[in-house]
Amino acid sequence: MTVTSNRAYNFNAGPSALPLEVLQKAQAELVDFKETGMSVMELSHRSATFEAVHNEAIARLRKLYDIPENYEVLFLQGGASLQFTMIPMNFLAQDQKASYIQTGAWSEKAFKEAKFFGTPVEAASTKANNYKNIPTVEEIQVEQNAAYVHLTSNNTIFGTQWKTFPTTGDVPLIADMSSDILSKKVDISNFAMIYAGAQKNLGPSGVTVVIIRKDFLEKANPNIPTMLKYDTHVANNSLYNTPPTFGIYMLGEVLKWVEEQGGVDTIEKRNEEKAKLIYDAIDQSNGFYYGHATEDSRSLMNITFRVADEALEKKFLAEAKEAGFVGLNGHRSVGGCRASAYNSVPVETCQALADFMVKFQQDNQ
């Protein structure tokens, strides 16, 4: 099996695949962006040329994701990991509680950071079965008068994803959507805040998108350091300090690519098609392969699975690597294999993996 056009079959969990068309455009513009005689990486973030890039990216995200006018859109730094701290710092007082739904490693880390500021309380957890599923609505117990409810919409390590989100009433709902943002339609109005690292579905690493409702923003603690206030970045259109200019440029180009594909509806259908190819190879293998996640919680973004025979699993990963597949090793806490089929991963790449899986099974039974 050869790699088409010398491009790897990239299943990395993040940083992950980017659209080839976007990479080629960035390559063409790298040295001289819009006849400025400079790379976009050399432009001042205060220049009109870069501000146009910045504002176009915000406008495209608003349009593609149907973000209402009563929400701010920010481009920050520090990844989702910094948001784990910024959120409780801004919205959780020492005498308050916040409800955290535990579905994997990243929600655990968010919970840990909240302890520095107030009292995080588990609203539900599936840790007991190694995070194989998403909690049911009946299992979720939101703390009375909670400052907010926090969840992780897709779990990269364990391969689970929320199909529908809980209704939290008057309690603000916050979602870490780092690994499935823009992969499907979402009703933004159900959330007080959404945040996501860009490096899986939106662009390269270095940019963190924050979508935050204005009335929720008004509840933020004003007595915290300037750089850690959301208000600071809202007031300065995310340009208070030097932003990751190249990352924002690339994010804008990826959003343009999503538009050209037909928008989020088309991307969602394509993601369902891609995931089905690989899940079918698992489900039709008669136990040769088996998934980590329960069927009702399976992620379209991160497909986690094992080969029933441990020795064959090592052989599978070795031969897959030789065949040009990259990033298929599962996380150490789950083991096995993981195929991350984010927005920019082509259908052909997922088909190639499904074909490889079927052939490997035929050759090794």
Pick from 260, 290, 320: which residue ends a domain?
260
CATH code for the domain of 316: 3.90.1150.10
* 3: pLDDT strictly greater than 50: no
- Are 206 and 291 within one domain? no
Look up residue 54 and give its two tokens.
């910045």
What's the whole-number mean pLDDT along residues 314-321? 98
Query: Tell me: the pLDDT tens digits for 216-242?
Result: 999 999 999 999 999 999 999 999 999
- The catalytic site residues sit at 106, 176, 200
CA–CA gap between residue 137 and residue 141 (Å, rounded): 9
Query: Tell me: the pLDDT tens digits for 18-74?
Result: 999 999 999 999 999 999 999 999 999 999 999 999 999 999 999 999 999 999 999
Phi-psi region of 12 (alpha: psi -120 to 50; beta: other; left: phi over 0): beta
| Closest by Cα among 252, 254, 269 to 54 | 252
CA–CA gap between residue 352 and residue 350 (Å, rounded): 5
Pick from 202, 229, 260: which residue ends a domain?
260
- Are 124 and 240 within one domain? yes
Burial class from Cβ neighbours inside 10 Å (0-12, 13-18, 19+) for residue 332 reads exposed
Q: How many domains does the chain have?
A: 2
Pick from 231, 260, 289: which residue ends a domain?
260
Look up residue 133 and give its two tokens.
């599923």
Which range has the worst mean pLDDT, 4-13, 61-70, 192-201, 259-268? 4-13
Q: Which residues contact 105 (CB under 8 A, 6 or more apart)?
A: 155, 157, 158, 331, 333
Query: Tell me: the pLDDT tens digits for 256-269?
Result: 999 999 999 999 99
How many distinct helices (H) and strands (E) make up the chain?
10, 14
CATH code for the domain of 228: 3.40.640.10
- Are 222 and 315 within one domain? no
Token pair 């923003």 is at which residue? 217
* pLDDT, position 5: 62
- Give residue 299's domain range: 262-364
